[in-house]
Amino acid sequence: MPRESTITDIRAAVAASRRISRDVTLITLDCPLISEIAEPGNFVNVRVNDTTQPLLRRPFSIHDAEDGQITLMVKEIGKGTEIFCRCTAGTELSVLGPLGNSFSLGAEDFDTAVLVSGGIGTAPMRFLEKRLAARGKKVVNLIGGRTKDDLLPEGLTGCRFATDDGSEGFHGTVLGLLESLVPSLTAEGTPRIFACGPTPMLRAVARFSREAGIASEVSLESVMGCGFGICYGCSVEVSAPDGGTKTILLCREGPVIDGGRMV
Ligand SMILES: Cc1cc2nc3c(=O)[nH]c(=O)nc-3n(C[C@H](O)[C@H](O)[C@H](O)COP(=O)(O)OP(=O)(O)OC[C@H]3O[C@@H](n4cnc5c(N)ncnc54)[C@H](O)[C@@H]3O)c2cc1C
Ligand code: FES
């Protein structure tokens, strides 16, 4: 996976904040230095206010980057995200990024990019879809959620849905949807899977891809303190070439890893 480039820590103003579901908000920040060099899969570490509560920054994938701005798709799950989602236009925040590696856009060995996401894992897919489409790749989005209210297709095209309760699209998991579509996808050319979502979903998608002989890359999450390799808070176990396992720092060698490396 491509490595990160220059990281900057800048004061960025909130340009717009728009709630798109009961607990998810799109937040656009003015930060040309990050926007210009960001790649799909990168994330930023945001200090959600200027106090020490919360003390640590919070990591968010880059949902979109253009015209000197980045947009984040933020789901409220605790204090930090609640504060961030309440920020109004004009609020200034410290934003560190772009951090981490990125999805590999340059691979020539596929015709169709299958973007598989679940819940807030759909956040990085808009930026990824835009860059893949600019390279002439066909893109299919498979999006999963518990119910239709959890689906976040904002800005995406070619979407197919899966819901656990059957309230929208395929009745079942996004993996079930992927399995049902693989015969037609492979008949049309070579697919490559790009996935982001809850860890159990990513494990299942990576295992399925391996067994089906389809290349995959997955964007993982972990607790992150610093976001650039200092605190060792983000260590995860991945498979090693010798058949054993090794520990990596997800903020530096991830968040995107080859699906074949998932333990
Ligand atoms: C590389 C990376 C990219 C991310 N991208 C996005 C994104 O684009 N949009 C988005 O909304 N969120 C994203 N997250 C998750 C986001 O960082 C957390 O939701 C956020 O830090 C929670 O902060 P909080 O203060 O609101 O919650 P806290 O008060 O810190 O936690 C509230 C509860 O949620 C749990 N929790 C905290 N972080 C996570 C997590 N990462 N996964 C599961 N449970 C968690 C805690 O254990 C606790 O139970 C990303 C995380 C990583 C590591
Ligand atoms: S988040 Fe601190 S080392 Fe990775």
Work out the average pLDDT over 120-148: 97
Residue whose CA is at the smallest distance from ligand 1 atom 31: 78
Q: Partners of 258 in the beta sheet?
A: 217
* Domain end (from 99, 116, 150): 99
Answer yes or no: are the C-beta atoms of 207 and 178 closer than 8 Å.
no
Q: Is residue 256 part of a domain?
A: no
- pTM, rounded to two decimals: 0.96
Which tokens go with 72? 């984040």
Give the tens place of pLDDT for each residue, 21-39. Answer: 999 999 999 999 999 999 9
What CATH number should be reported for the domain holding residue 207? 3.40.50.80
- Over residues 157-173, the mean pLDDT reads 97
Q: Are 131 and 69 in contact (CB under 8 A)?
A: no
DSSP labels for 197-237? S-HHHHHHHHHHHHHHT-EEEEE-----SSSSSSS-TTEEE
- pLDDT band for 106, please (50, 70, 90 cuts): confident
Going from the C-alpha of 20 to that of each of 26, 136, 154, 255, the distances in angstroms are: 7, 29, 8, 25
- Residue 89 placed within a domain: yes
The interaxial angle of helices 174-188 and 199-212, nearest 10 deg, is 30
Top mutation candidate among 224, 236, 253, 257 for ligand 2, by most atoms within 8 Å of CB: 224
Tell me: is residue 85 an annotated ligand-binding position: no
Query: 106 a known binding residue?
Result: no
User: Is 252 labelled as part of a ligand binding site?
Assistant: no
Atom of ligand 2 nearest to the CA of 226: 2
Q: Is the pLDDT of residue 3 over 60?
A: no
Model confidence over 193-217: pLDDT tens digits?
999 999 999 999 999 999 999 999 9
Shared domain for 92 and 109, answered yes or no, is no
Neighbours of 147 (CB within 10 A): 12
Arithmetic mean of pLDDT over the chain: 95
Q: Please give the radius of gyration of the chain, using alpha carbons only, rounded to the nearest integer.
A: 18
Supply the range of the domain harboring residue 13: 8-99
60 is in an annotated binding site: yes
Residues with CB under 6 A from ligand 2: 224-227, 229-234, 249, 251
Same domain flag for 124 and 177: yes
Determine the residue of 56, 72, 221, 252 to mutate for testing ligand 1's pocket, defined as the one with the most ligand atoms within 8 A of the Cβ atom: 221
192 vs 113: CA distance, rounded Å: 5
259 belongs to a structural domain: no
Residue 249 falls within a domain, yes or no?
Answer: no
